[in-house]
Amino acid sequence: MKKLIIFDLDGVIYVGDEILPHAPETLKTLRGRGLLVRFLTNNSTKSRKSYVEKLGRMGIEAREEEIVSSSYLARVRLDALTGGRARVFIVGERGIADELDGYTILGPAERESADYVIVGYDSEFNYEKMSHALDALLAGAEMIATNRDPTFPQPGGKILPGGGSIVAAVAAAWQREPFTCGKPNPFGIRHLMERSGAGGEETLLVGDRADSDMLTGYNAGVDTCLVLTGITRREELDSLPPEQKPTYTIDDLGELPGLLERLAGGNSIQNRG
């Protein structure tokens, strides 16, 4: 029986500022059944507090401790490595800096004294920022990437370059690979499982990307549910590699309560190949 249900945000709960069908009522139903509802997003542009506010505007109640973003995971990683003391140069948006409250955040003039360079999605990324990050890295800093998602969905089916595209540019210049906090690294899901007291068989990860969400579940050893409201399409399922195939597939979140009810009854409806 499932105890912990972890949801991706973009493409699952909403797209941009548009709530997706059945999201608020499904989350309310699951909470009413006593299930632990948590959120795991690769989007680093917002802090957990900002996500609470955004979900609230969409009619979804959530607490900061229920949300894990890749910007927050950068904080978790830095805390483990440094005990909370480091000089950091950021290529990214406000969400990263907000989550790194208490750390010394450096401006461009101080970049070569950085201990770490944190790189995530940055809507104003340019050659100068890439050069500054490279200066810091060549001076001895280590790089932490928030996520490697190459794209993210927008309303109307539009696809935009994601944080992973920016990480790839900086990493190519550095000629080394950074530690990546976000999915498909199971770092975040394991963090949520540990805090929730849920084991692998008790956890279900719900997402819209095979190469990110489904692979994360595989890497963490938990069941996955692909919801077809974001990036991955049904016609792609047969060609996915085994580690990216979902355990279950649904068209939208309205089908999730029924799926979980059937799982609790012991019915086997897996579609993983």
Give me the domains of the chain, ranges plus CATH numbers.
4-42+183-264 (3.40.50.1000), 83-180 (3.40.50.1000)
Cα→Cα distances 232→3, 78, 213, 251, 256, Å: 26, 32, 10, 11, 17
pTM, 2 dp: 0.91
Contacts (Cβ under 8 Å, ≥6 apart) of 260: 2, 5, 30, 33, 35, 204
Beta strands in the chain (DSSP E): 4-7, 14-15, 18-19, 36-41, 67-69, 87-91, 104-105, 116-119, 142-145, 151-153, 159-161, 179-180, 203-207, 223-227, 248-250
Mapping DSSP to helix (H, G, I), strand (E, B) and coil, where does residue 139 land? coil
How far is Cα 193 from Cα 46, in angstroms, rounded to an integer? 22
pLDDT value of residue 158: 85
222 forms beta bridges with none
Closest of 245, 261, 189, 244 to residue 8, by C-alpha = 189
Q: Which two tokens stand for residue 163?
A: 């944080």
Residues 14-32 pLDDT 10s: 998 999 999 999 999 999 9
Residues 93-132 pLDDT 10s: 999 999 999 999 999 999 999 999 999 999 999 999 999 9
What are residue 95's phi and psi, to 5 degrees? -55, -35
The pLDDT of residue 267 is above 80: no
| Confidence band, pLDDT 50/70/90 cuts, at residue 266 | low
The pLDDT of residue 54 is above 60: yes
